[in-house]
Amino acid sequence: MFDKFISYLQFEKRYSQHTVLAYRQDLNAFIEFAEVKRISEFTDLSSAFIRSWIVYLIEGGMKNKSVNRKLASLRTFYKWMRKEGMINHSPMTKVQGPKNEKHLPIFAKESELAQPKMEDLFTNDFSGKRDAIMLELFYQTGIRLSELIGLTLQDIQGNQIKVLGKRNKERIIPISNDFVQQIEEYIVIRRELLPKHEFLLVLDSGKKLYPTFAYRKINYYLGKVTSLDKKSPHILRHTFATHMLNRGTGLETLKDLLGHASLSATQVYTHNSFAQLNSIYSQAHPRGHKTS
């Protein structure tokens, strides 16, 4: 039913495979609720009906953020139908999603990721060196999981890394001299084992890294150094952003490093940064101490 729309997402919007899959799943969920068989039947669905779907999802225990993601998928689909001349008006213009809950990003402490502590985690063979590079890339650059998997040998350019982000937008992220040397040592071993492979990080078998593998590895290593409930690659992205702000990085600079489209997405980290500054102030300033 959606083949033409999916092609539009892939080739015109240039969305990632992961994003396209999410759109497909969201639309399938709505189709099941609406019991429609053909695209033409979407023209009969009203904004009131779509609002009833929102109520159904929330009463089923779905969080507001997930509901809004599904609505975003449906909104894009109706815009495409209007663009294709299938409908004259979208019912989504009268549909407003629930307000997202505000959650502060979770992050690891600087002391938990101290270099001497981290070095003891990894073996000195190919697998250990690859895992060390993977974790350090997440923490030192703040890149997304999909961006890390897509890194090639050509993306390592001296003291910087070229990253292909969302919607194929490129950005350059600097890295430390020590990390450059660490990557170079890994590449020497990697080229001996897999001389023809273009991707920077690969499995022991030589195949391309996949999301579940990277998630499992990061979860394991973070579990060795932190007591956080969540231990994922995205936690390291939050950690990168928070530590950068705590050490004086400006919001605009951090926005560019993270590859955010707007400053509003970056501003969420200022809450964590302020909490850190408040803690430092209360400990350091003579009148900052709270009396009991």
Question: Which residues are known to be catalytic?
Answer: 144, 166, 234, 237, 260, 269
Residue pair 284/271 in contact by the 8 Å Cβ criterion: no
Task: Report which of 237, 220, 199 is spatially closest to residue 108, judged by C-alpha positions.
Answer: 237
Residue pair 123/190 in contact by the 8 Å Cβ criterion: no
Question: Sign of torsion, CA 258 21 134 116?
Answer: positive
The angle, 0 to 180 degrees and rounded to 10, between the axes of the packed helices 211-225 and 126-141 is 80
Which pairs from 181-188 meet CB under 8 Å and 24+ separation? 182/132, 182/133, 182/136, 183/133, 183/156, 185/129, 186/129, 186/130, 186/132, 186/133, 187/153, 187/156
In angstroms, the CA 37 to CA 287 distance is 69
The letter for the amino acid at 216 is R
Residue 275: count of CB within 10 angstroms of its CB: 13
In angstroms, the CA 27 to CA 7 distance is 15
In angstroms, the CA 77 to CA 17 distance is 17
Q: How many residues make up the chain in this entry? A: 292
Q: Provide CB contacts within 8 A for 291, sequence distance 6+.
A: none
> What's 125's DSSP letter?
S
